[in-house]
Chains A and B, each alone.
Chain A
Amino acid sequence: GQQLNQSPQSMFIQEGEDVSMNCTSSSIFNTWLWYKQDPGEGPVLLIALYKAGELTSNGRLTAQFGITRKDSFLNISASIPSDVGIYFCAGQLAFGNEKLTFGTGTRLTIIP
């Protein structure tokens, strides 16, 4: 099946630092999505990307859809305590195939 490799697996940063994580795939995806999941909760959509090369921002978050359509990255600038959680990338393979393939997640911890 499809696999998304997400890195890093975990990050320990200080408040105020910038964060960068990425996802790579062996397959071409039509859509890339980034979600955040807090403990005991469902994933919450952060950013959706629909076109190769697209760069989209949502507040302090910026994500890009790689031009090869096999990768995506997410940047968080000036991290704050509420950024703590697990971030997942997800890819949608093709139009007409709506299921999402999720990455393995990046756990973000902020050191006081």
Chain B
Amino acid sequence: NAGVMQNPRHLVRRRGQEARLRCSPVKGHSHVYWYRQLPEEGLKFMVYLQKENIIDESGMPKERFSAEFPKEGPSILRIQQVVRGDSAAYFCASSERGNTEAFFGQGTRLTVV
């Protein structure tokens, strides 16, 4: 997976709590993408960030979801007031620049109970 690190690997939250998912891209990569995968389905695009900027958030729900990629530190996907339907695998990918190959992390599996 070319060094994209995601943590935690597994996250359990009760309904109404907040979930924070972290992604450290490959060293030197300034483009980060977040995808969501439901069981037996393909990955669905959520948001594309380039250091400190959100480039495309067309796949991210308007309510409760937010993403950031600060100048220093990992990219964070935050889900507030989680509901059962948020249970899924969330994958982060990074690329050196747009239109180059993106490498995926191992994902965070969120379970809302």
Contacts and interface: CB of A to CB of B under 8 A. Distances in A.
Interface residues of B, number: 30
B99 A95 contact: yes
B90 to A, nearest CB: 10
A80 interface: no
A35 B43 CA distance: 11
Interface centre among B4, B45, B55, B95, by most A CB within 10 Å?
A: B45
A97 interface: yes
Interface in A9-66: 31, 33, 35, 40-45, 48
Interface string B53-72: 00110110000000000000
Interface of B: 1, 4, 6, 31, 33, 35, 40-45, 48, 55-56, 58-59, 91, 93, 95, 98-99, 101-107, 109
A43 B48 contact: no
A104 interface: yes
B41 to A, nearest CB: 7
- For chain A, which range describes its interface: under 10, 10 to 19, 20 to 34, or 35 or more residues? 20 to 34
B45 A42 contact: no
B95 A44 contact: no
Contact of B48 (A35, A40, A90, A99): A99
A42 B99 contact: no
Nearest to B50: A98
Contacts of A112: none
A90 B93 CA distance: 13
A102 B42 contact: yes
B40 to A, nearest CB: 8
B60 to A, nearest CB: 11
A43 B41 CA distance: 13
Contacts of A73: none
Given A99-B45, A99-B48, A99-B59, A45 B103 contact: yes
A90 B59 CA distance: 16
